[in-house]
Amino acid sequence: MEKTYRRILTVQDISCVGQCSLTVALPILSACGHETAILPSAVLSTHTAGFTGFTFRDLTDDIPLINNHWVKEGLKFDAIYTGYLGSKKQIDYIKNLFATCGKENFLKIVDPAMADNGKLYPLFNQEYADEMAGLCAQADFILPNITEACFMTGVEYRENYDRAYVDELLAALSKICPSSNVILTGVSYREGKTGVVVYCDGKYEYYEHVKIAKGCHGTGDVYASAFTGALMHGKTPYESAKIAADYTVCCIEKTQDDPSHFYGVKFELAIPELIKMIYG
């Protein structure tokens, strides 16, 4: 993809405090040099990990109204990138966005944010995972972790695995999403290391990097946003996956020395490094 000024729509929730979802997607995509439009699926006072008593306002019913206005105004996007979606109804509305709001040859990028560590997030079930698999089938790029891939394909989840198991997952994803390129995150073949598999047009590539023991909330959103920003800037899928991984690690490293910052990563401090990777 040539390096031009792109208009990207990202659809996910707003956690007003918490460094996740739209509050990371908007600045990261903008730092990559893109006009970034947003469609919030919900507004929360904070995210749900580590906070109690948070407020929540569901914006599901606003999505088709916004979509209809964009259609009326002739507004279209070079890419539509989705993150956390709160219901099957929202997934259906995204399918309509795909059908009505993309420019010619626009990219559909889906992060099926719904599970990790062998479990679905609260309020989700297998029926939701099946619906998300249907959305992924329409995408050009999907970014599941191993748990999400398992729930979408029916492959048994394993904590310990080898390349043969990952190949099985990729084959299963290709069967249900035959037109989608797969960016499989959190793939670890040896202790102390993790990485990402880039499976495009039947070709397997793997980028390995250091695994930081302490996880941080919102890093999946950071990764998906950086990947999308790099890809839309003209980087190859593998280059984009590598940039996103290196940037995410950098964000975690800049947060580790502050135990009070439990709710996210200081991604802002690493934006200069991201810009160097994108424009270097």
Residue ranges per structural domain of the chain: 7-274
Report CA-CA distances (Å) from 212 to 90, 190, 208: 34, 13, 12
Q: What is the structure's pLDDT at 186? A: 95
Per-residue model confidence (pLDDT) at position 49: 80
- Using one digit for the tens of pLDDT, what is the confidence trace for 70-108? 999 999 999 999 999 999 999 999 999 999 999 999 999
Q: How confident is the model at residue 257 (pLDDT cuts 50, 70, 90)?
A: confident
Q: Could you read off the pLDDT of 128-144 as tens digits, one per residue?
A: 999 999 999 999 999 99
Measured at the alpha carbon of residue 243, what is the angle toward residues 1 and 15, in degrees to the nearest 5?
100
What's the confidence (pLDDT) of residue 261? 87
Q: What is the mean pLDDT of residues 142-169?
A: 97
Q: Calculate mean pLDDT across residues 198-216.
A: 88
For residues 240-266, give the mean pLDDT.
Answer: 93
16-28 residue pLDDT tens: 999 999 999 999 9
Q: Tokens representing 182?
A: 């797969």
| Among 3, 59, 8, residue whose Cα is nearest residue 233 | 3
Element (H, E) at 208: strand 203-210
Token pair of 169 as six digits = 């997952």
- What confidence category does residue 3 fall into, taking pLDDT thresholds of 50, 70 and 90? low
Percent share of the chain, pLDDT over 70: 98
Q: Which of 133-142, 205-214, 220-229 has the lowest mean pLDDT?
A: 205-214
Q: What fold is seen in the domain 7-274?
A: UDP-N-acetylmuramoyl-L-alanine:D-glutamate ligase (3.40.1190)
Query: How far is Cα 86 from Cα 93, in angstroms, rounded to an integer?
Result: 12
Of the pLDDT bands very low, low, confident and very high (cuts 50, 70, 90), residue 215 is low
Average of per-residue pLDDT across 146-153: 98
Q: Report the C-alpha gap between 275 and 157 in whole angstroms.
A: 36
Q: Can you tell me the mean pLDDT for 228-239?
A: 97
The answer on pLDDT for 1 being more than 50 is no
Which residues are CB-neighbours of 125 under 8 A, at least 6 positions away?
A: none
The mean of the pLDDT values for the chain is 94
Query: Where residue 214 falls among pLDDT bands split at 50, 70, 90?
Result: low
pLDDT of 250:
95
If pLDDT is split at 50, 70 and 90, which confidence band does 48 have? confident
Query: What pLDDT, on a 0 to 100 scale, did the predictor assign at position 212?
Result: 81
Q: Are 223 and 238 in contact (CB under 8 A)?
A: no
Contact by Cβ (8 Å): 81, 8: yes
- pLDDT value, residue 150: 98
Tokens matching residue 176: 């249900």
